[in-house]
Amino acid sequence: MNLAAQLPVLPVVIPLVTAPIAMLLPNGRAPWAFATIVSWLTFAACAFLLQAVLGAGVISYELGDWRPPLGIEYRIDLANALVLFLVSGIAAVVFPFAYRSVQLEIDARQTSFFYCALLICLTGLLGVTITGDAFNVFVFLEISSLATYALVAMGARRDRRALTAAFNYLIMGTIGASFFVIGVGLLYQATGTLNMVDMHDKLVGQSSRVIDAGFAFIVVGIGLKLAMFPMHLWLPGAYTYAPSAVSAFLAATATKVAVYVMIRFIDTVFGFQFEFLGAAFTWVFLPLGLAGMFIASLVAVFQDDIKRMLAYSSVGQIGYMLLGLSFGTVEGLTASLVHIFNHALMKGALFMAVACVVLRAGSHSVKAFAGLAKRMPFTTWAFIISGMSLIGVPLTVGFISKWYLLQASFAAGHWYAGFLIVASSLIAVLYVGRIVELMLLREPAEDGPYAIPAKDAPLSMLIPMWFLVLANIYFGLHTELTGGIASRAAEALMFMAGGAS
Amino acid sequence: MQHLILKVTTKILFAPIIVFALYVQFHGDYGPGGGFQAGVIFAVAFILHAFCFGLEQTRKVIPLKALIIAMVVGVMFYAGTGVATMLLGGNFLGYDQIAPESTHHAGQHYGIILVEWGVGVAVASTMMTIFYLFTGREPDIDQEDW
C-alpha cells in the first residue's frame, strides 16, 4: 500500500472502520480510549493532507478506481482541507475531554454505543467535507445527522426533554436533507452528472427553471442544516439537551460543515454568471445573515440557560458567515472561511467550559454560574477568554474574524453592514458580560442546589479545554494559517467561479 | 396449543424465506436484488417466528448480543473489503486488485459479492435488533396508570 497515495481517503476510512469496533468494546474506559486514539490518528491524517494540499494544490482521489465524473471523486482543495483540519482537530480535543463528562451524563450501559455514534458522526462530517460528488454529500450528511440524532437523544438520562429536542432535530434535519436531495436530483436531470466540478462545467451557460428550482431547493435544504436564521429552531433545543461533550463537538463542527457545503455549492457548482445567485445574495443571504446576527443575539441575551444562550449565539454567528458569503467577493469568502475556523475554536471552548460546570454543579442554568470564579477559577477564566473571543476583543480569534469581515464589507461597498457588525458585537458584550458579571462579582450560593464545593474540573477536562482556549489566542496572533489559507482558498474558489464564465 | 395453524405454517415457511433471501443475495450482482433486500427478507423469517412463538423463543435462537456482533461484522465486511483493496495496492474499494490477472474484471464480481454479503448481514441484524428493541420495550407508563 502506498500510504501517500491513499492519504486522501484515510480521514473517512479510519473512523469508519474503527466505529464498529468501538461498539464491541466493553462499556467503560475502553471505548473512550479507543475513540480518542482514533481521533488523534484521523487528525494526523488531516494535518498531513492539509500539508500535501498546501504543497501540491488540488488533490483528487478516485474511489474504487472509477474515473470521475462517473465514479465518486474525493477532491481536496485548500477550502476543504482547512475544514477537515478543523473538524478532526476539534474531535481530537473533544474526545479526550469527553470521558468524565460522559461518565456523568450518559447511561453506563450506553458508553460503547455512544463512542461508536460519535465516531460515525465524525466520519460523516469529514466525508461531507472531503467529497467532490454532490450525491455523496447527501449520503455523508445523513450518516452524520443520524448519528447526531442518537447522540442528542442520549442526553435523556439527565433531562427527558432531550428526546423531544432530538425528535425535533430529526424532523427538521430530514426535511433539510430531502430538500437537498431533491435539488441535487433536479441538477442531475439538467446536467446528467453528480460530480461537482463536472456539474459546474455543464451548468455554465445554461438557464432553465429546473436549475433555478434545484438551486432554491439546495439553498433551503442546506439552510436548514446550517440553522440559517428563520430555520434555526431545531438548534437551541438540540444543543441545550444534548450531553455536554456532544454539544461542544457539534457546536464546533456540524453547522460549520454545513456552511462549508453551502459555500461549496454556491461557489463551485453555481459559480458562474447565474442570475439567481445575485438575487440570492442580495435578498436571501444578506438580509437573513443580518437578521440572524441581531435577532438571535438579542434572544441570547434573555436566556437563563447557558447552553441555550450559547446556541442562540451560534445562530447569530452563523449570520456573520452568511454575511461574508453574501458579498460575493474574495474578501467576503475569506472572512466566512476564517470565521468558520475561529468560531469553532471559541464555541468549542465555551461549551467545554459549560461541560465542566455541569460536571461539578450538575446544571447549566445561569444560577449555577454565580460566584463561579471562587469555586472553579480555571473553568471561569477559560469561559471568560473564549467569551471575549466571541465578542471580538483584540488578541483573540474573534477579533480576526470581525476584522476580515469589516474589511470585506467596506471593500464590497456595504458600509452599513460594517456598522451593523460592530453593533451586533455589542449585543455579544451584553450576553457574555452578563455571565462574566455573575461569575466574577456575585457571591456563590451558600446553600441550596447550586452550593457546589470549591473544586475545579478534573485535569482530563481542563487540559483539552485550555488547549482550545490557547488556540483562541494563538490563532488570534498568528493568522498565517487561518487567514493565509482562507484567502488562498477563497481566491481559488472565486477564480473557478469567475474563470469559467 | 394456541394458534396451531399459524405455528405450523410458520415452521413450513421459515426455511423457504431464508432460501429466498439467499437467492436475492447471490442474485444481487447480476440482476435486481442485493444485500439490502436480502437482509430484510432474511430478518422477516425471524420476525415471523417471533410473531408466532413469542419474542422469548426467538431470542433463544438469536440473542441480542449476537445481533450486535453481526451488525459489526457486516460493516467490517464492507469496509474491510475496501481496506483490503487498499492493502493490495489499489484505491479504497478498487475491486480490480482482488484478481489483477483477470482479463474480464473478475475482481469486480468478487468485490461486489463480498460487499453485498456485508450489507446483507448488517441489514438483517439491524432489522432484527430494531424489532427486538421495539417489541421488547417496557412501556414507560403502565397501562393501568393512564
User: Which domain covers residue A428, as residue numbers?
Assistant: 274-501
Q: What is the mean pLDDT of residues B130-140?
A: 84
CA distances for A246 relative to A91, A149, A150, A467, angstroms: 10, 11, 11, 18
Residues within 8 A of A (CB atoms), B 37-96 only? 68-69, 71-72, 75-76, 79-80, 82-83, 86-96
Higher pLDDT, A399 or A2: A399
The mean per-residue pLDDT over the stretch A160-175 comes to: 94
pLDDT for res B32? 74
Cell numbers describing residue B36: 439490502
- Name which of A3, A6, A66, A123 to mutate to probe chain B: the one with the most chain B Cβ atoms within 10 A of its Cβ: A6
> What confidence score (pLDDT) does residue A314 get?
95
Cell 450489507 -> residue: B119
Cell reading at A262: 453551502
Is the confidence at residue A447, as pLDDT, over 80?
no
Cα A91 from Cα A42, distance rounded (Å)? 9
Distance from the Cα of A65 to chain B's closest Cα (Å) equals 5
Q: Do B92 and A17 touch (CB under 8 A)?
A: no
Q: Which residue of B has its CA nearest to A160?
A: B140
Shortest alpha-carbon distance between residue A66 and chain B (Å)? 8
**Residues near A331 by beta carbon (within 8 Å), at least 6 away in sequence:** A404, A407, A408, A411, A412, A490
Residue A35 lies in a domain: no
Q: How confident is the model at residue B110 (pLDDT cuts 50, 70, 90)?
A: confident
What would the mean pLDDT of A263-272 be, rounded to a whole number? 88
Rounded Cα distance, A453 and A456, in Å: 9
Contact between residue A461 and residue A100 where contact means Cβ atoms under 8 Å apart:
yes
The 10 Å Cβ neighbour count of residue B63 is 12
Q: Does B76 sit within 8 Å of A17, measured CB to CB?
A: yes
- Asked if the structure places residue A408 within a domain, the reply is yes
Under DSSP, the state recorded for A456 is: P
CB contact under 8 A, B83 and A17: yes
Confidence at residue B17, expressed as pLDDT on a 0 to 100 scale:
96
Q: What is the mean pLDDT of chain A?
A: 91
Closest approach of A316 to chain B, Cα-based (Å): 38
Contact yes or no for A6 and B91 at CB 8 A: yes
- Alpha-carbon gap: A32 to the closest alpha carbon of chain B (Å): 18
Query: How close B140 comes to chain A (CA, Å)?
Result: 12
Using a CB–CB cut-off of 8 Å, the residues of A that contact B are 1-2, 6, 9, 13, 16-17, 19-21, 23-24, 61-65
Specify if A254 maps to a domain.
Answer: no
Closest Cα to residue A134, out of A39, A203, A65?
A203
Query: pLDDT tens digits, residue range A202-244?
Result: 988 888 899 999 999 999 999 999 999 889 999 999 999 999 9
Distance CA A193, CA A133 (A): 9
Average pLDDT on A98-119 reads 92
Which H or E element spans position B94? none
Least confident range from A225-229, A380-384, A427-431, B140-144: namely B140-144
**Crossing angle, helix A459-477 and helix A397-411, to 10 degrees?**
40
Confirm if A73 and A32 have CB atoms less than 8 A apart: no
Supply the pLDDT for residue B100.
Answer: 84
Rounded-to-integer distance, Cα A370 and Cα A374, Å? 9
pLDDT band at A497 (very low <50, low <70, confident <90, very high): low
Task: Answer whether A13 sits within 8 Å of B80, measured CB to CB.
Answer: no
The confidence score (pLDDT) of residue A500 equals 39
Residue numbers in B near A2 (CB within 8 A): 89
Measure the N-to-C terminal CA separation of chain A; round to a whole number of Å: 40
User: Could you please report the per-residue DSSP string of B14-35?
Assistant: HHHHHHHHHHHHHHTTTSS--H
Q: Cα separation of A479 and A476, whole Å?
A: 6
Quote the CA–CA distance of A4 and A9 in Å, as a whole number.
10
C-alpha cell, A196: 461537482
Whole-angstrom CA distances from B77 to A115, A330, A486, B24 are: 21, 45, 39, 18
Which amino acid makes up residue A68?
P
Does some domain include residue A468? yes
Residues A159-173 as b/e (b if ≥16 CB within 10 A, e otherwise) read: eeebeebbebbbebb
Query: A28 lies in a domain?
Result: no
Cβ contact A180:A221 at 8 Å:
yes
Closest in B72, B79, B83 to A24, CB measured: B72
Of A16, A20, A65, which has the smallest distance from its Cβ to B90's Cβ?
Answer: A65
The answer to whether the beta carbons of residues B88 and A5 sit under 8 Å apart is: no
Residue B142: pLDDT band by 50, 70, 90 thresholds? low
CB A342 within 8 A of CB A475: yes
Query: What number of residues does chain A have?
Result: 501
Residues of A in contact with B89 (CB under 8 A): 1-2
- Quote the crossing angle between the two packed helices A134-153 and A111-130, to the nearest 10°: 160
How much is the pTM?
A: 0.94
Q: Among candidates A479, A492, A39, which has minimal Cα distance to A253? A: A39
Half-sphere exposure of residue A266: CA atoms within 13 angstroms, side-chain side: 29
Nine cell digits for residue B107: 475482481
Find the CB nearest B91 among A17, A23, A64: A64
From chain A, pick out residues whose CB is under 8 angstroms from the CB of B94.
Answer: 64-65
Alpha carbons A53 and A489: distance in angstroms, whole number: 11
* Closest Cα in chain B to A23: B72
Domain count, chain A: 1
Residue A320: count other Cβ atoms within 10 Å of its Cβ: 26
Query: B57-104 pLDDT, tens per residue?
Result: 999 999 999 999 999 999 999 999 999 999 988 888 888 888 888 888
- Mean pLDDT of the region A158-166: 92
Residues of B with Cβ-Cβ distance to A24 under 8 angstroms: 68-69, 72
- Please state, in angstroms and as integers, the Cα–Cα distance from residue A17 to each residue in A22, A28, A35, B71, following that order: 10, 21, 12, 13
Closest partner residue to A65 (CB to CB) among B71, B75, B96 is B96
C-alpha A157/C-alpha A177 separation (Å) is: 28
Least CB–CB distance from A64: residue in B69, B71, B93: B93
Prior bond of A69 cis (ω within 30°): yes
Asked if A23 lies within 8 A of B95 by C-beta distance, the reply is no
State the pLDDT at residue B14: 93
Compute how many other C-beta atoms are within 10 angstroms of the C-beta atom of residue A275: 9
Instruction: Specify whether the CB–CB gap between A309 and A303 falls below 8 A.
Output: yes
Q: For residue A427, what is its C-alpha cell?
A: 449585543
A contacts of B140 (beta carbons < 8 Å): none
Cβ-defined contact of B79 to A61 (cutoff 8 Å): no
Tell me which residues of chain B, numbers 92 to 121, contact chain A at a CB-CB cutoff of 8 Å. 92-96
Using the predicted structure, report yes or no on whether residue A499 has a pLDDT greater than 60: no
Per the prediction, chain B carries an average pLDDT of 88
A77: DSSP letter: -
pLDDT per residue as tens digits for the range A394-441: 999 999 999 999 999 999 888 888 899 999 999 999 999 999 999 999
Q: Find the CB nearest A23 among B72, B86, B90.
A: B72
Q: Are A356 and A461 in contact (CB under 8 A)?
A: yes
Please enumerate in sequence order all residues whose Cβ is within 8 A of that of A499, keeping only pairs 6 or more positions apart, or say none: none
* Mean pLDDT, rounded, for A311-325: 94
Question: In one letter, which amino acid is B71?
Answer: M
Asked if the Cβ–Cβ distance from B72 to A1 is below 8 Å, we say no
CA distance A116 to B128: 19
Per-domain residue ranges of chain B? 4-137
> Is residue A230 in a domain?
no
